[in-house]
């Protein structure tokens, strides 16, 4: 099945990213956009553009009938969902395939399995991945929850099966707090996800968030492309990612990489995926698998030289991956700063007109952004407006290069988080790579206190 035309069911920098890979492969692109995005860069660059609805994402970028209609009108051979929006919607993937359109993503059944966090853990266990100690499946009664908590020890964490990304989690400190918090977690999960299934895990207090990039051909061929350290987060939103993790040695990476590679091969997984782990005291604990291309994929591209979107398109077309594990070489260090149109101190969104724009350049500097001078950032969507990715021979080189590139970056007319990243580059603890998932929020609180 050769793909001649791809409909890109997304917006912003990721729509551009997909367009660029398609273009380089000689594939035509179709942009879809809301009325708020008529002047967006992804619309300007694509070969064709189709309006799919009003500004609210529910009526446009999440509007399945309109997107399928656009694909049929444009006679697109394939749909790439990007990240967010419909990218992990198994029903959408099914519908795409039912319309004889190639879904550039994993088997919808794999999306479905990994979308249910209890199923995902059960699958991970079968595949031989290490899990956080916890309940074997959902917990339904208080007695059951008590027995699990007694076995693994307090504090424990109750999580919603339909949650993920930190939604619907509660820490339970001791036995007295257990019954009411389980009840509360179930009620909140029911309200948020229409599913009151919850499960319990041992609460890890200061882990790092380390995720492995994986890629499969759908027939049992699979590679791992190393890890990304994504511990720097604020309210479950990643702020900066780097590869390799400052916490791992080459030996640990190779051993864990082989474990995840073998798991992905056994699954017969197709396309790009991410195995998320918590890492504490030298141990990995699987928590979730993401069945999509991720925002932070460029750091992996920087250290491996592999174009992940190109590989996605290849395997969706039925072609083999262009690399096997022995071809994969890890070189140097990469860092990505997520630049949001937000006040760097308060994180209040700052949409509006970009009056002046100049992106940094030079050796090993990559900017993934759909911004341009005169562009009006709409208030309806995620505030991520640019990703600045640098590569260097060592972590120190990459940090210095990032500081230099941030200094060059001009985005006027709206507030951005560039000053936050500049402050991070100057921080000694960050410089040492000495951080956990708790570090950034503490650091921000410390800065806020100092500013008073
Ligand atoms: C945890 C945890 C501690 N212990 N699980 C948050 C998002 C979701 N993917 C899983 N999350 C966590 N699960 C156990 N057993 C702490 C977190 C967590 C977290 C994880 C990764 C990155 C940032 C985080 C911030 C707060 C909590």
Tens digits of per-residue pLDDT, 60-112?
Answer: 999 999 999 999 999 999 999 999 999 999 999 999 999 999 999 999 999 99
How close is the Cα of 184 to the center of ligand 1, in Å? 19
Ligand 1 close to Cβ of residue 236 (< 6 A) = yes
Q: How far is CA 253 from CA 226, 233, 256, 328, in A?
A: 7, 22, 5, 13
Residues 6+ apart with CB under 8 A from 101: 7, 68, 71, 76, 77, 78, 79
Using 50, 70 and 90 to split pLDDT, how confident is the model at 451? confident
Ligand 1 close to Cβ of residue 85 (< 6 A) = no
Residues in the chain, overall count: 452
Residues 6+ apart with CB under 8 A from 319: none
Closest-CA residue, ligand 1 atom 14, reads 203
- Cβ neighbour number for residue 36 with a 10 Å cutoff: 19
What's the CA gap between 228 and 123, in Å, rounded? 22
Using 50, 70 and 90 to split pLDDT, how confident is the model at 167? confident
Ligand 1 close to Cβ of residue 263 (< 6 A) = no
What's the CA gap between 63 and 197, in Å, rounded? 28
Average pLDDT over residues 235-256: 97
How close is the Cα of 271 to the center of ligand 1, in Å? 25
Closest-CA residue, ligand 1 atom 18, reads 166
Residue 104 Cα to chain centre, angstroms: 16
- Cβ neighbour number for residue 352 with a 10 Å cutoff: 15
pTM: 0.97
Ligand 1 close to Cβ of residue 442 (< 6 A) = no
Ligand 1 close to Cβ of residue 157 (< 6 A) = yes
What's the CA gap between 422 and 278, in Å, rounded? 27
Ligand 1 close to Cβ of residue 132 (< 6 A) = yes
* DSSP bridge pairs for 48: 30
Ligand 1 close to Cβ of residue 289 (< 6 A) = no
Q: Which atom of ligand 1 is nearest to the CA of 285?
A: 15
Ligand 1 close to Cβ of residue 152 (< 6 A) = no
Closest-CA residue, ligand 1 atom 15, reads 203
Closest-CA residue, ligand 1 atom 10, reads 166
Ligand 1 close to Cβ of residue 165 (< 6 A) = yes
pLDDT digits (tens, 9 = 90+) for 132-151: 999 999 999 999 999 999 99
3-state secondary structure of 164: strand
Q: Are residues 384 and 13 in contact, defined by beta-carbon separation less than 8 angstroms?
A: yes
How close is the Cα of 166 to the center of ligand 1, in Å? 6
What's the CA gap between 419 and 342, in Å, rounded? 11
Q: Which of 11, 261, 270, 292 is catalytic?
A: 292
Using 50, 70 and 90 to split pLDDT, how confident is the model at 452? confident
Q: Which atom of ligand 1 is nearest to the CA of 132?
A: 15
Closest-CA residue, ligand 1 atom 16, reads 204
Q: Which atom of ligand 1 is nearest to the CA of 202?
A: 15
Q: Which residue has the tokens 């993401």?
A: 290
Active site residue 329: no
Q: Can you read off the two tokens belonging to residue 3?
A: 């793909």
Q: Which residue has the tokens 């895990």?
A: 201
- What element of type H or E holds 254? helix 250-267
Beta strand segments in 173-293, E: 198-202, 208-217, 222-234, 237-243, 270-280, 283-290
pLDDT digits (tens, 9 = 90+) for 175-232: 999 999 999 999 999 999 899 999 999 999 999 999 999 999 999 999 999 999 999 9
Alpha-carbon dihedral of residues 46, 336, 327, 79, nearest 10 degrees?
A: -30
């Amino acid at each position: 099945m050769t793909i001649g035309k791809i409909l890109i069911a997304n917006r912003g920098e990721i729509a551009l990213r997909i367009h660029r890979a398609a273009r380089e492969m000689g594939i035509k692109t179709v942009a879809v956009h809301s009325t708020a995005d008529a002047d967006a860069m992804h619309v300007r660059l694509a070969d064709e553009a189709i309006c799919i609805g009003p500004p609210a994402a529910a009526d446009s970028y999440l509007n399945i009938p309109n997107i399928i209609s656009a694909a049929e009108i444009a006679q697109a051979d394939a749909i790439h969902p990007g990240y967010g929006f419909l990218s992990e919607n198994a029903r959408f993937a099914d519908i795409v395939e039912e319309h004889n359109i190639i879904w550039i993503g994993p088997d919808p059944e794999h999306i479905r399995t990994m979308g249910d966090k209890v199923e995902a853990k059960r699958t991970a266990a079968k595949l031989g991945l290490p899990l956080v100690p916890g309940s074997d499946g959902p917990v339904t009664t208080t007695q059951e929850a008590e027995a699990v908590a007694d076995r693994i020890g307090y504090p424990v964490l109750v999580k919603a099966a339909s949650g993920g990304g930190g939604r619907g989690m509660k820490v339970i400190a001791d036995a007295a707090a257990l019954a009411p918090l389980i009840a509360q977690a179930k009620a909140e999960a029911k309200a948020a996800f229409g599913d009151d299934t919850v499960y319990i895990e041992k609460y890890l207090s200061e882990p790092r968030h380390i995720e492995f990039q994986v890629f499969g051909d759908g027939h049992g061929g699979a590679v791992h492309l190393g890890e990304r350290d994504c511990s720097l987060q604020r309210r479950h939103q990643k702020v900066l990612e780097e590869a390799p993790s400052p916490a791992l040695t080459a030996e640990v990476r190779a051993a864990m990489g082989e474990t995840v590679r073998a798991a992905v091969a056994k699954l017969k997984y197709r396309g790009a995926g991410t195995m998320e782990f918590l890492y504490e005291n030298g141990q990995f604990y699987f928590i979730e698998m993401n069945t999509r291309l991720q925002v932070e994929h460029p750091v992996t591209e920087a250290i491996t030289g592999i174009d992940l979107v190109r590989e996605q398109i290849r395997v969706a077309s039925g072609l083999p991956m262009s690399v096997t594990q022995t071809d994969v070489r890890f070189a140097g260090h990469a860092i990505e700063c997520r630049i949001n149109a937000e006040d760097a101190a308060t994180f209040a969104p700052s949409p509006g007109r970009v009056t002046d724009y100049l992106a940094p350049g030079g050796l090993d500097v990559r900017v993934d952004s759909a911004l341009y001078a005169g562009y009006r950032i709409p208030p309806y969507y995620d505030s991520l407006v640019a990703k600045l990715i640098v590569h260097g021979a060592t972590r120190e080189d990459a940090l210095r290069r990032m500081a230099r590139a941030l200094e060059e970056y001009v985005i006027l007319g709206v507030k951005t988080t560039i000053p936050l990243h500049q402050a991070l580059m100057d921080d000694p603890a960050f410089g040492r790579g000495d951080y956990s998932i708790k570090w950034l929020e503490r650091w921000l609180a410390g800065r806020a206190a100092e500013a008073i």
